[in-house]
Amino acid sequence: MKDIFKKESIATYLKADARLSKTLRARDLVALGIGAVIGTGIFILPGHEAALHAGPAVAVAFLLAALVSGIVGMAYAEFSSAMPVAGSAYSFGSVVYGEIVGWILGWALILEYFLAVSAEATGFAAYFNNNILHAVGLNLPRALQAGPMEGGVINLSATLIVLIVAFIIVHGTTLSKRVENVAVVIKVAIIILFIVVGVFYIKSANYVPFYPQKFRTSPWGLGGISTAAATVFFAFIGFDALAANSAETIEPEKNVVRGILGTVVVSVILYVAFSLVLTGIVNYRQLNVDDPAAYALQLIHLNTWNKLITIGALIGIFTSMITMFFGGSRLVYALGRDGLLPARMGEISFKRAVPKNAIIVATVVQAFFAGLVPLTELASLINAGTLLAFAFISFGVIPLRRRTDIENHGFKMPLYPFLPILAGVASIYFIIMLPNVTKISVGLWLLVGVGFYFGYGLRHSKLQNRTE
């Protein structure tokens, strides 16, 4: 008789993941975290969310999302300290809740990671096509700028950037972290320059009203800010990606929490400042575009700065793609490692010490969506799975502490059990505040995943078939 709530042992995961090389330190994790969080989220989402949900108060939405993510990040850090394994929320869930819960979290996050990379690729293409190719007199035909849903054939730039990132990822963590570390410094410097220069072009009238009445829907008049905050959690999936790198981190019991908290501090400062400057330069009603920062600088005739922010956006989105691609491929590897996906997904390349087959699958799926589906459609589906994982991992700290077979001599979440419960409840609240179409779409995806588990995963699961 098979038990869908059977729990995996931490020893099994540690043994399997010993094949992965440990090369990442705290500074590398901070670079990966900033690379993920300060990407599409800062260069695209502030404009859309200001125009559609919050007005200039989008800065408050980012602050709220960052604070909740930071608390949840501490829960991830405790899990990573106790269980430095690949797979992040999937592996953690399989150990503390049982296989079926771990699978649901993993299935949800596959959607999140893959669509995040695809969405970032389409954002990259928007900046590249509109501000780089156009500036040098090159204009791709419409058929190569958009997929069928937008009247074209394929978004060529978005597809190609996925393939370039895949090339970097398949060459291992050493090359990935070198590219990431250099690119993050350049990106943050350009964002700071935008903030410093933009301050001198702020018009106080653009802040009035700071939180427009039309967005003050229930509950308690915070509907607009809450919906914006729920939407921009897309930017903070990087915390799960950091935890996904635990098996490849040196001293994860110390370095993962440093990576997460370092990312939170830098991110909240940059996001809030960037959003305030952006909505101060341009009235929020005009910001529903895919390249709001470049658009804002163009409106105030700072064309040289426009090109600079475009370079920063391209680097920012590129580094975000690296981290998301990294996390997604490791998740596919972990599911293959455990037999819930075909076993070839769990194989490690001897030459590069990376899960090559998982990377190939991720490349094909992400390039497909990037080339054929527009950004708005992709972004609308991303957040529910992230928040679901946030809720389970936050509450999961409680059963983790009660496990006598799992030792944790590293980081532990403070104010236990208050903070884990607060983080879990906040995550559920933001799931409720997501648009209905997002909840329905992700709900259907989860139903497909449950069907796949009972049709394939349960029969092939190494945990279920293992003789004790």
Summarised one tens digit per residue, pLDDT across range 337-356 is 889 999 888 888 777 677 88
- What is residue 138's predicted lDDT score, i.e. its pLDDT? 73
Mean pLDDT of 437-459: 89
Share of the chain above pLDDT 70, in %: 90
Phi, psi torsion values for 43, nearest 5 degrees: -90, -15
Query: Does a structural domain hold residue 3?
Result: no
Mean pLDDT of 391-399: 94
* Number of domains observed in the structure of the chain: 1
Contacts of 16 (CB under 8 A, 6+ apart): 337, 346
Burial, 220: exposed, middle or buried (Cβ in 10 Å; 0-12, 13-18, 19+)?
exposed
Query: Does a structural domain hold residue 465?
Result: no
Measured distance CA(10)–CA(82) in Å, rounded: 9
CB 162 within 8 A of CB 118: yes
Burial, 172: exposed, middle or buried (Cβ in 10 Å; 0-12, 13-18, 19+)?
middle
Measured distance CA(170)–CA(361) in Å, rounded: 12
Q: Is a pLDDT exceeding 80 seen at residue 121?
A: yes
- Amino acid identity of residue 196, one-letter, is V
Measured distance CA(161)–CA(151) in Å, rounded: 21
Does 167 or 395 have the greater pLDDT score? 395
CA angle 336, 341, 347 (to 5 degrees): 25
Measured distance CA(74)–CA(66) in Å, rounded: 12
- What is residue 151's predicted lDDT score, i.e. its pLDDT? 65
Share of the chain above pLDDT 90, in %: 20
Query: Does a structural domain hold residue 200?
Result: yes
Omega cis (within 30) before 209: yes
Q: How far is CA 419 from CA 67, 71, 72, 258, in A?
A: 12, 7, 9, 18
Query: Does a structural domain hold residue 1?
Result: no
Helix runs in 152-204, H state only: 156-170, 173-199
H/E stretch holding 303: helix 303-337
Contacts of 430 (CB under 8 A, 6+ apart): 65, 68, 226, 229, 230, 233, 383, 387
The CATH number of whichever domain residue 24 belongs to comes to 1.20.1740.10
Query: Does a structural domain hold residue 17?
Result: yes
- What is residue 125's predicted lDDT score, i.e. its pLDDT? 85
Measured distance CA(52)–CA(327) in Å, rounded: 30
- What is residue 187's predicted lDDT score, i.e. its pLDDT? 80
Mean pLDDT of 30-45: 73
Residue 418 confidence class, pLDDT cut points 50, 70, 90: very high
Mean pLDDT of 46-71: 87
- What is residue 417's predicted lDDT score, i.e. its pLDDT? 93
H/E stretch holding 100: helix 99-127
Average pLDDT, the chain: 83
User: Tell me: the pLDDT tens digits for 222-278?
Assistant: 778 888 887 777 666 666 667 777 777 888 878 888 888 888 888 888 889 999 999
Q: Is a pLDDT exceeding 90 seen at residue 396?
A: yes
Q: Is a pLDDT exceeding 60 seen at residue 198?
A: yes
Task: List beta partners, residue 249.
Answer: 24
Query: Does a structural domain hold residue 378?
Result: yes
Residue whose entry in the numeric block shows the structure tokens 């993050």: 184
Query: Does a structural domain hold residue 85?
Result: yes
Measured distance CA(293)–CA(43) in Å, rounded: 6
Measured distance CA(106)–CA(113) in Å, rounded: 10
**Whole domain around residue 112: which residue ranges?**
13-460
Distance of CA 315 to the CA centre of its chain: 16
Q: Is a pLDDT exceeding 80 seen at residue 24?
A: no
Burial, 213: exposed, middle or buried (Cβ in 10 Å; 0-12, 13-18, 19+)?
exposed
CB 86 within 8 A of CB 333: yes
